[in-house]
Amino acid sequence: MSIAAPDVGEAELRRIRSVLQSGQLSGGDEVDAFGDEFATYCTVAYGVPTSNGTTALHAALEALGVGDGDTVVTTPFSFVATANAIRHVGATPVFADVDPQTYNLDPASVETTAEAVDGVDAILAVHLYGCPAPMAELRAIADRHDAVLIEDAAQAHGATYRGDPVGSLGDAACFSFYPTKNMTTGEGGMVVTDDGAVADRLWQFIDHGRDGDGNHTTVGHNFRMTDVCAAIGRVQLEKLDEYVAARRDHAAAFDDAVEDTDLVAPVEPDDCRHSYHQYTVRCADRDALRAHLDDYGVPSTVYYPTPIHEEPAYDDVDASLPEAERAAEEVLSLPVHPGLSSRDVRAITLALTELRQ
């Protein structure tokens, strides 16, 4: 049993072989097709594949005009790439606290934070662990401050909010296809948007600032996805709903097992469909819980042991964010991926039920 297990099989291998045999390993039709198909899945008009989730965030901020001197409110409880991308474009990340149940941005804290810095240029919301952030409230705040709203959906492929897929809820949304994600391309990312002008700027930025006539009119990066990665992604996208259904089935079994224990199970808000990139419980004595799970052969890991504002690279940030700090001390993620066998699921549920008082 492992904490994550990418599912890459014969269908992906056949598609990879086809790309290799074509000789068009980069800049071919697979990338365009994957972008179009993923955008359709998210019910938006445009999808721009990138080299990874971090470059997707960077490119999205650039394409939305976020840059030097701007302020972006985001969460301190995420992978550090969320905040790093903000700094890469010359903007300043300002951290709001999180909801203690969902671990996503707390709208009240976002509003207070935005007022404290005398306005905000963007809000970067993370759908942490696969649970959609409260996008209606965040959109209202963004509109009041004339700010753009960006989704970091790196962990939320297949999740929905009020019936709409993540990726369709902000001015742009960013996904990661790292091997541990709900679907993978090996390495890769994607930005989706309904704004054609934003999509054009994205394509230009990720290709060294090259416009449609081949002229380098801006300074960009090489953030392009390869056709090999896109070919894998197209097959994985066909399986995504099946993958998410398996994750949700496993999570439901674990929810039942957690009842009558001291653990706090993940929350799925009434207006959300959680995609369970992670099944994350919280426990006052995390070390004891990890030792107990180890005894049953159940791996576990902590996402994330250090809030971003407490990382050494952010030691210039002076912030007190008690909910994020407490979550970092108490959360623990268990395996929930589709590769779990029925025997694995039984082992995990047994380990959890043995915690009942």
Q: Which domains does the chain have, with CATH numbers?
A: 10-236 (3.40.640.10), 240-353 (3.90.1150.10)
The token pair at 280 is 């994350």
Backbone angles phi, psi at 160, to 5 degrees: -135, 155
- CA dist 202 → 50, 75, 150, 230 (Å): 9, 24, 14, 17
At 183 the pLDDT is 97
Half-sphere exposure (Cβ direction) of 57: Cα atoms closer than 13 Å: 27
pLDDT value at residue 306: 98
The owner of tokens 């492992």 is 2
From CA 296, how far away is CA 350, in angstroms rounded?
A: 8
C-alpha triplet 299, 304, 308: angle, nearest 5°:
165
Sequence-separated (6 or more) residues with CB below 8 Å from residue 315: none
Distance CA 26, CA 226 (A): 5
In 3D, which of 199, 202, 223 has the Cα closest to residue 46? 199
Token duo for residue 214? 């081949």
Half-sphere exposure of 307 (CA within 13 A, CB side): 27
pLDDT for residue 25: 80
* Blockwise average pLDDT, block size 10, the chain, 357 residues: 92 91 84 98 98 98 96 98 98 98 98 91 98 98 97 98 98 98 97 98 94 86 96 98 98 96 96 98 96 97 97 95 98 98 97 89
Write down the pLDDT at residue 357: 66
Whole-angstrom distance, CA of residue 53 vs CA of residue 5: 19
Other residues' Cβ atoms within 10 Å of the Cβ of residue 92: 16
CA distances from 163 to 42, 106, 159, 160 (A): 12, 21, 9, 6
Dist. CA 314–CA 248, nearest whole Å: 35
